[in-house]
Chain A
Amino acid sequence: MLDRTFTSALADIVPSSALLTEPEDTRPYECDGLTLYREQPGAVVLPETEPQVVAILKLCQAARVPVVARGAGTGLSGGSLPVATGVVLSLAKFRRIVAIDPMARTAIVEPGVRNLAISEAAAPYGLFYAPDPSSQIACSIGGNVAENAGGVHCLKYGLTVHNVRKVRGVLITGDIVEFGADALDAPGYDLLALVCGSEGLLAVITQITVKLLPKPALAQVALAAFDDIGKAGAAVGNVIAAGIIPGGLEMMDRDATRAVEQFVHAGYPLDAAAVLLVEADGTPVEVAAEMGEIREVLTASGATEIRVSNDEAQRLLYWSGRKAAFPAVGRISPDYYCIDGTIPRAALPGVLRQIEIWSREYELPCANVFHAGDGNLHPLILFDANRPGDRDRTVEFGDRILELCIEVGGTITGEHGVGVEKIRGMCAQFAPAALERFLGIKRAFDVHGLLNPGKAVPTLARCAEFGAMHVHHGALPHPELPRF
């Protein structure tokens, strides 16, 4: 609960319709896309202008009240999970596309603008915004920046951090800061990169300048079937090793194709152990040449069948299953848990086979549908929260996958962020020296730790508490810290 004086001070900043304090009004904000964790916030505030954001943050800083910024609420790691004694600051009303400059190939947008809306607004100029998370019809660009979101096209065109020029944000002190620049390179420390993926811990974003890319003249996708998931994994590495960087390089295993085929009827080969989608884009001459090479590599890697899209409608049909994979899986299983570990591509065959083995061991089906070209896995563990023990075994299975990812040189999150979900994994992935840098940076921006507390970066004490701190050569780091 927040105290009266505080909420009435909030009420002085925004109109009464933009301040929610009753439990039935704040309930829709109790979780994001990761529904495993829920918390009712003390208040939800929906400002419309930057001065309102400044005033809210100054007030929270003065009263030492935690603030959780929230976009569209599609996050998958609990990044916008509220704090019971804090405020949720929703940017939903910041939804203007301020300007599109086709000469400079940039768009200036507010954080609440939907990802796909940017590409739609840029389409008349033959331009598009490249990062395309599967939730792109709903997720907001501010959330994309906060999580450094990826998507199918990131292999060739980069993540959010590569596609953002400038971010305007408000610090917890109420100071407005511009990160990055309109020109190619911004001098000094790369604070823009720090803010991208900072999960709302450093600043509240109020405006973003994104880069737009020319829409390729032609795009074609090859759909290749494999009778073994390891072979499909190796084929991914072979494509890249041949020096080809496709527009998209995605994999779906049998469980995933079967789930989506019922949903979209794209004609996927249902008997295949795994299917790869490989896209070539560019001028017609380039696409023809690249598609030829892709075919060769896939054939040599043991593809049992290769189909190439004949036209745009067919290309979209082939992709429709991939884009709809999550909702499709949601139809065949009461619950699913999505993992986001990312590994060096060369490790794909081994890790995929191990996931298959564990899936049988835990008696939990696991559908794999993911950004193979980036090595970004998205195993979807299917479970039933109402069946006793399912949930615990699911979490354990997921943890083992992430541990394996770290072991082979990867990371616990490729694009979904740490949030509350993977905060333990951070202790395993990063040594104390690195965690200390993270905490130092956090203090430089937010000395009282009020912006999105408890997310993304664990304190050393918390790592000690989890007992999950990285122990190297038997040397327990920070032996002075109490362990619970």
Chain B
Amino acid sequence: MNTTTDKVRPEVAALTERFRREYGERAMTSHAIREQHSHGEGLADAGMPDIVVFPKTNEEVASIVGVCNAAHIPVIAFGVGTSLEGHVAALYGGVCVDLSQMDRVLEVNEADLDCRVQAGVTREALNAELKGTGLFFPIDPGANATIGGMASTRASGTNAVRYGTMRENVLGLTVVTADGRIVHTGGRARKSSAGYDLTRLFVGSEGTLGIITEVQLSLYGLPEAISAAVCQFGDLKGAVDTVIVAMQMGIPVARIELLDDVQMDACIRYSQLEFDPKPTLFFEFHGTEAGVREQAEMIESIAAEHGGSRFQWTIAQEERSKLWKARHNAYYAALALAPGSQAFATDACVPISRLTECVLETQADIAETGLIAPIVGHVGDGNFHLVVLFDPAKPEARAKAEGLAARVSARAIRMGGTCTGEHGIGVHKLDALVAEHGDAVSLMQAVKRALDPNDILNPGKTVPRS
């Protein structure tokens, strides 16, 4: 991997000078700012940009990209840097376009259940803005990411089982193309079969086909009532089968999370909870008061048939938070299992019918490595994460952890799944993309060449350079 040094190429220096002149304080070259824009939240595989520019309008983004395209200088779009797979590292230096100052909610169409925001709006800021309208934006990847970043990485989250991912919820985009032009895709009509689906092509393209500057999003009515439930199981199969049956019956669960016995053990210790260290399902239901009651009761009877025990459910907000506490603190509880260790998360996703098998094989694999790696799953989607802990002082420990992660990816692919359920490819998962989609990769590269012939947009990410 080619990380940049502080030796600046002359054409980059000229560009830097120009951006400083045009953008004044909104163009920064200090080491601290460049370092901050060199990585996301995953393991640090930093690559520093030469300059960070903070545009405020579509036209400014278009002008920056146009200049970079003419000079063949890389451009990397940046939201708030919460991605996990090295998406924002400037592998070949260049210009980081930080969109955090494009943070306006442009319109909220209450009657049409949609809104249009600039790319730098964070999901929490959007929901704060929606307060009082009775609407909300449900996608919740955990981090308080920007909407632009979430669209670029096709983010998902704990309630995808009910509301879908960014793929289903982005209605249209404004995108700055590699040649510095502004393109509008999709729109306010709920469906269109006119032309190729550029909206979905740009969603998930990780800034490699264009820079998303505005996003039209679906919104949802706040549910009248929310209820939460927790149930423990003697074995993993009972828990997963409960979910499969619930899905087959069409119970519209809003969230279903699975914690394995190791993770539950960690949570019990961390938060002093009165649970058993057994595989546990956490549910949330959205609907009318009668509806959420009915859903909880249906789940209770399905769980009972599959060896579920200690079923608890509640509709009161305070009680709900208490029930879900274990899930909310899961990551910190996992880290507390081995103080001083570093951790990274895997992101396998398999068809739900293979989930039990995949998790059981993975647990046996973990046991063999001797590593600590609790499992948390968005089980309704077949997506599960290992938090793999390792001692940063021991290189062989990191190698072992990476070996485990590679086997998890390979296992998911073998079972008809993917190594990246929701975190994207970035730079870390390029090999796995080739393994999963060998035949389609050359087509993806052809699309990349068609839309970015000079390879200036976030080069080295999402698809291998051709």
Interface residues of A (CB under 8 A from B): 101-106, 126-127, 147-148, 150, 154-155, 158-159, 161-162, 171, 175-179, 181-191, 193-194, 196-198, 202, 213-217, 237-238, 240-244, 282-283, 285-286, 288-290, 342-346, 374-376, 405, 409-418, 422, 425-426, 429-431, 433-434, 437-438, 440-445, 456-457
- A-B interface, 9 closest residue pairs, ranked by CB to CB distance from nearest: A243-B221, A214-B250, A193-B200, A440-B450, A103-B353, A444-B446, A411-B192, A182-B416, A183-B417
A-B contact pairs, 15 of them (CB 8 A): A103-B353, A182-B351, A185-B422, A187-B420, A188-B204, A190-B200, A194-B200, A241-B111, A285-B294, A289-B290, A409-B187, A410-B188, A414-B192, A415-B191, A415-B193
Per-residue interface assignment for chain B, residues 158 to 187, with 1 indicating a CB less than 8 Å from any chain A CB and 0 otherwise: 001000110110000000010001111101
Q: How far is the CA of A159 from the CA of B350 in the complex (A)?
A: 23
Interchain nearest-CB distance for A348 vs B (Å): 11
Choose the segment among B30-38, B65-73, B118-126, B429-437 that binds chain A (4+ C-beta atoms closer than 8 Å): B429-437
Contact of A178 among B191, B251, B420, B439 (CB under 8 A): B439
* Chain B neighbourhood of A434, CB < 8 A: 183-185, 195, 198
Interchain nearest-CB distance for B463 vs A (Å): 6
Contact, CB under 8 Å: A184 / B160: yes
Contact, CB under 8 Å: B187 / A410: yes
**B340 interface hit (Cβ, 8 Å):** no
Contact, CB under 8 Å: A181 / B417: yes
CB within 8 Å of A: which B192-217 residues: 192-198, 200-201, 203-205, 209
* Chain B neighbourhood of A456, CB < 8 A: 195
**B440 interface hit (Cβ, 8 Å):** yes
* Chain B neighbourhood of A425, CB < 8 A: 194
By secondary structure, the B interface counts as mixed
* Chain B neighbourhood of A197, CB < 8 A: 193, 196-197
Q: How far is the CA of A426 from the CA of B194 in the complex (A)?
A: 7
Given contacts A290-B288, A376-B189, A437-B183, 17 further A-B contacts (CB under 8 A): A106-B351, A177-B443, A178-B440, A183-B350, A184-B382, A185-B349, A188-B204, A190-B204, A193-B200, A194-B201, A285-B288, A286-B291, A374-B189, A374-B190, A410-B188, A444-B449, A457-B195
Contact, CB under 8 Å: A183 / B198: no
**B425 interface hit (Cβ, 8 Å):** yes
Q: Max chain B CB contacts within 10 Å: which of A183, A288, A342, A345? A: A183
Contact of B421 among A184, A413, A417 (CB under 8 A): A184
Contact of B189 among A179, A243, A286, A342 (CB under 8 A): A342
Interchain nearest-CB distance for A425 vs B (Å): 8
User: Which A residue's beta carbon lies closest to that of B440?
Assistant: A177
**B399 interface hit (Cβ, 8 Å):** no
Interchain nearest-CB distance for A440 vs B (Å): 4
Contact, CB under 8 Å: A104 / B353: yes
Q: How far is the CA of A414 from the CA of B192 in the complex (A)?
A: 4
**B424 interface hit (Cβ, 8 Å):** yes
User: Which A residue's beta carbon lies closest to that of B180?
Assistant: A433
Contact, CB under 8 Å: A183 / B443: no
* Chain B neighbourhood of A198, CB < 8 A: 196
Contact, CB under 8 Å: A188 / B440: yes
Interchain nearest-CB distance for A246 vs B (Å): 13
Q: How far is the CA of A413 from the CA of B193 in the complex (A)?
A: 6
Contact of B447 among A148, A177, A191 (CB under 8 A): A191
**B444 interface hit (Cβ, 8 Å):** yes
User: Which A residue's beta carbon lies closest to that of B424?
Assistant: A187
**B406 interface hit (Cβ, 8 Å):** no
Contact, CB under 8 Å: A184 / B447: no
Interchain nearest-CB distance for B109 vs A (Å): 7
Q: How far is the CA of A375 from the CA of B189 in the complex (A)?
A: 7
Q: How far is the CA of A104 from the CA of B382 in the complex (A)?
A: 10
* Chain B neighbourhood of A105, CB < 8 A: 247-248
User: Which B residue's beta carbon lies closest to that of A244?
Assistant: B221
Contact, CB under 8 Å: B197 / A196: yes
Contact, CB under 8 Å: A214 / B248: yes
Contact of A189 among B204, B290, B421, B429 (CB under 8 A): B204
**B441 interface hit (Cβ, 8 Å):** yes
* Chain B neighbourhood of A161, CB < 8 A: 197, 200
Interchain nearest-CB distance for A115 vs B (Å): 16
Q: How far is the CA of A178 from the CA of B432 in the complex (A)?
A: 16
Contact, CB under 8 Å: B382 / A240: no
Contact, CB under 8 Å: A187 / B177: no
Contact of A184 among B198, B298, B383 (CB under 8 A): B383
Please report the total number of B residues contacting A with Cβ < 8 Å. Answer: 92
* Chain A neighbourhood of B188, CB < 8 A: 344, 409-410
Contact of A409 among B189, B424, B450 (CB under 8 A): B189
Contact of B112 among A159, A346, A412, A413 (CB under 8 A): A346
Q: How far is the CA of A445 from the CA of B444 in the complex (A)?
A: 10
Interchain nearest-CB distance for A50 vs B (Å): 14
Contact of B419 among A150, A176, A187, A440 (CB under 8 A): A187
Per-residue interface assignment for chain B, residues 435 to 466, with 1 indicating a CB less than 8 Å from any chain A CB and 0 otherwise: 01101110110111111000000000011000
Q: How far is the CA of A216 from the CA of B249 in the complex (A)?
A: 8
Contact of B110 among A241, A374, A410, A442 (CB under 8 A): A241
**B352 interface hit (Cβ, 8 Å):** yes
Interchain nearest-CB distance for B86 vs A (Å): 14
* Chain A neighbourhood of B412, CB < 8 A: 183
Contact, CB under 8 Å: A189 / B444: yes
Interchain nearest-CB distance for B191 vs A (Å): 5
Interchain nearest-CB distance for A419 vs B (Å): 10
Contact, CB under 8 Å: B193 / A417: yes
Contact of A176 among B422, B432, B439, B451 (CB under 8 A): B439
* Chain B neighbourhood of A444, CB < 8 A: 443, 446-447, 449-450
With A289-B290, A289-B291: A457-B189 Cβ-Cβ less than 8 Å: no
Q: How far is the CA of A150 from the CA of B277 in the complex (A)?
A: 47
Contact, CB under 8 Å: A441 / B450: yes
* Chain A neighbourhood of B447, CB < 8 A: 189, 191, 194, 441, 444
Q: How far is the CA of A433 from the CA of B350 in the complex (A)?
A: 38
With A190-B201, A241-B110, A374-B191: A104-B196 Cβ-Cβ less than 8 Å: no
User: Which B residue's beta carbon lies closest to that of A203?
Assistant: B443
Contact, CB under 8 Å: A241 / B113: yes
CB within 8 Å of A: which B77-134 residues: 109-113, 134
With A184-B421, A191-B440, A433-B182: A282-B252 Cβ-Cβ less than 8 Å: yes
* Chain B neighbourhood of A184, CB < 8 A: 156, 160, 165, 349, 381-383, 418, 421
Q: How far is the CA of A264 from the CA of B293 in the complex (A)?
A: 40
**B220 interface hit (Cβ, 8 Å):** yes
**B42 interface hit (Cβ, 8 Å):** no
Q: How far is the CA of A243 from the CA of B200 in the complex (A)?
A: 25
* Chain A neighbourhood of B425, CB < 8 A: 187-188
Contact, CB under 8 Å: A150 / B191: yes
* Chain B neighbourhood of A431, CB < 8 A: 183-184
Q: How far is the CA of A414 from the CA of B182 in the complex (A)?
A: 24
With A188-B463, A189-B201, A343-B189: A158-B168 Cβ-Cβ less than 8 Å: yes
**B287 interface hit (Cβ, 8 Å):** yes
* Chain B neighbourhood of A162, CB < 8 A: 164, 168
Q: How far is the CA of A17 from the CA of B446 in the complex (A)?
A: 38
Contact of B193 among A102, A148, A175, A189 (CB under 8 A): A148
Contact of A344 among B135, B165, B189, B433 (CB under 8 A): B189
Interchain nearest-CB distance for B183 vs A (Å): 5
User: Which B residue's beta carbon lies closest to that of A159?
Assistant: B191
* Chain A neighbourhood of B255, CB < 8 A: none
Interchain nearest-CB distance for A57 vs B (Å): 15
Contact, CB under 8 Å: B111 / A437: no
Contact, CB under 8 Å: B195 / A185: no
Interchain nearest-CB distance for A277 vs B (Å): 18
**B411 interface hit (Cβ, 8 Å):** no
**B39 interface hit (Cβ, 8 Å):** no
